[in-house]
Amino acid sequence: MERLILAPGLAFVVAAAVGVPIIRFLQRLKLGQSVRIDGPQTHLKKAGVPTMGGLIFLLGIVVATLVFVPLNASVGLVLFTAFGLGAIGFMDDFRKVVLHRPLGLKARHKLVGQVLIGLVLSLGATNVVGLPPTVGIPFTATTIDLGYFYPVLVVLVVIATSNSVNLTDGVDGLAAGAMVIVSAAYALIAIAGDRLELGLLSLTMVGALLGYLVYNLHPARVIMGDLGALSLGGALAALAVLTKTELLLVFTGGLFVLEAVSDIIQVVSFRLTGRRVFKMAPLHHHFELLGWSETQVATRFWLAAAIFVIIGFLGLRNWG
């Protein structure tokens, strides 16, 4: 019980403490955010805000994990997935901010990295941790053995989750706040499933993200960048795989799914009909252009994230 309190507490303190020096460091390196000119006009003032701020909460997670979380293969796989995808995000941020290449890494290069990390996660989960290559169907007691196709599912979960969280990171505090809610949910899921180490790791994410939000709430003093967003998505994907809730993530992480789907709908509609369904995608930009402030978007989307989590919990009721 002490660890359940101290782990997120230490993560919060570390993240909050390192925030100022990291922001100053990023400012000295002139690692400022570039803003798309076709986006909401209110975002133009964000140009130059330090990016790669994901370092703040990643440090909080690492320190608290080393102190309070029992280290085993499952914890190692979560950290590997998070930092592996974070490295991809760092390379993307580096190309955008330092090399001034607005498109960052090519999509195929990102995809190759995500696939490789997903395969390692899958093999580690089944061959090292010893989990079965099965998937549970939410709201039922049905379990399907995917056999050799299980790695395909894991790779898809990693790609979809990391990219969805990345798309959600477009309004001050939105992605970080939503991840606080979803990480807390996975702490409960892991602890209820007798996976205390994963529950503690999830709680370190909650604490570290709250420490990061000290600097990321509107008006944000730092932005997590692809480094932060992809690492968070990777950690969430790994938690879903290691708690055997791969498909339940569609509901517990429903906000991220909604953001990604809105982007897909926008692209497909424009290419097929030349018309846009939303004023701008992803969905949070649509509401900004309807007149919502960034704070209104963030808080209302956090509420949506909480509702999706509740739906996800309902989907667990028939599971063993």
User: pLDDT means per 10 residues in the chain (320 residues)?
Assistant: 94 98 92 61 68 96 97 98 97 85 82 98 98 94 95 98 96 97 98 96 98 96 96 98 97 98 96 95 95 96 98 81
Distance CA 128, CA 28 (A): 43
Q: Looking at residue 77, what is its pLDDT?
A: 98
Asked if 51 and 32 count as a contact pair (C-beta separation under 8 A), the reply is yes
Asked if 245 and 139 count as a contact pair (C-beta separation under 8 A), the reply is no
Bridge partners for 135 per DSSP: 144
**What are 67's two structure tokens?**
């102190």
Look at residues 198, 202, 228, 199 and name the one whose alpha carbon lies nearest to residue 213.
228
Do β-strands 143-145 and 134-136 pair in parallel, antiparallel, or remain unpaired? antiparallel
Bridge partners for 136 per DSSP: 143
Distance CA 190, CA 175 (A): 22
Identity of residue 263: D
3-class secondary structure, 32: strand
- Going along the chain, which residue ranges are E strands? 134-136, 143-145
Q: Looking at residue 104, what is its pLDDT?
A: 74
Q: Looking at residue 34, what is its pLDDT?
A: 62
Identity of residue 214: V
Q: Looking at residue 41, what is its pLDDT?
A: 53
If you search the block for the tokens 């969430």, which residue do you land on? 236
Q: Looking at residue 81, what is its pLDDT?
A: 98
Distance CA 47, CA 28 (A): 15
Identity of residue 85: L
Q: Looking at residue 43, what is its pLDDT?
A: 57
**What are 309's two structure tokens?**
């989590």
